[in-house]
Amino acid sequence: IPFLRILITHLSYNHLPKSIFKEKGTIVVLFQNPKDRALLFLHFHNNGMQSVPSYSSRDEFFSGFMTDLWGSCFDPAVTWNKHIEDKNTVVIIYEDLKGNLTASVKQITAFFGFSPTAEQMQAIAGRHTFQPVSVKAQEIHGAVGLMLFHKAVFGDWKNVFAEAQNQKLAAKFTVCLEVAKMGVKFKYDVYCKA
């Protein structure tokens, strides 16, 4: 593949090809707060994707999510925490991206060594909001594209999970990430407290 290629993946750090780290690959890692991530998993599992199980209730889903049915929901963040200061890696938090797209785009472009003009920044920000990206996903992926995008609203977990479930997620976050650099980046007190 020619120089300056972009590859997008959901692979965890441990499943990425080792050549990415040996051959000067540059990595942008995007994370979302754990509670909204759980909600997206629920949405994905219950919207007709035949290759993944659906759940009869939120409680059934939550039980699987919290008992490491698919591996710990915090494993990717715990693993990337070990590499958060690697020179070839930048970690972006979805809520920061959504809250201030221009600042996040500046952070990403600076990381890659680009200096876009104000007009280019505006064009990037306009093309990469939820609506245009979700429409493009439908065009490219059809029905699966609809499942890849939910509401693009953070904090929606408050409307779905019961208080006891929120407390279980908070306790797991505390055990896995609270004192980690990645945990600080999540701004748990801002994005995950009711």
Q: What average pLDDT does this structure show over 130-137?
A: 62
Q: pLDDT-derived band of residue 50, with 50, 70 and 90 as boundaries?
A: low
pTM assigned to the model: 0.76
Asked if 10 is an active-site residue, the reply is yes
Residue 175, both tokens:
């055990």
Candidates 3.30.530.20, 3.40.50.300, 3.90.850.10, 3.40.50.1370; CATH matching 26-192: 3.40.50.300
The residues spanned by each domain of the chain are: 26-192
Distance separating alpha carbons of residues 42 and 56, to the nearest angstrom: 11
Q: pLDDT-derived band of residue 60, with 50, 70 and 90 as boundaries?
A: confident
Q: Which of 10, 45, 128, 150 is catalytic?
A: 10
| pLDDT tens, residue by residue, 157-168 | 888 888 898 888
DSSP 120-167: HHHHHHHHTSHHHHHHHHHHHHTHHHHHH-----TTGGGGTS-HHHHH
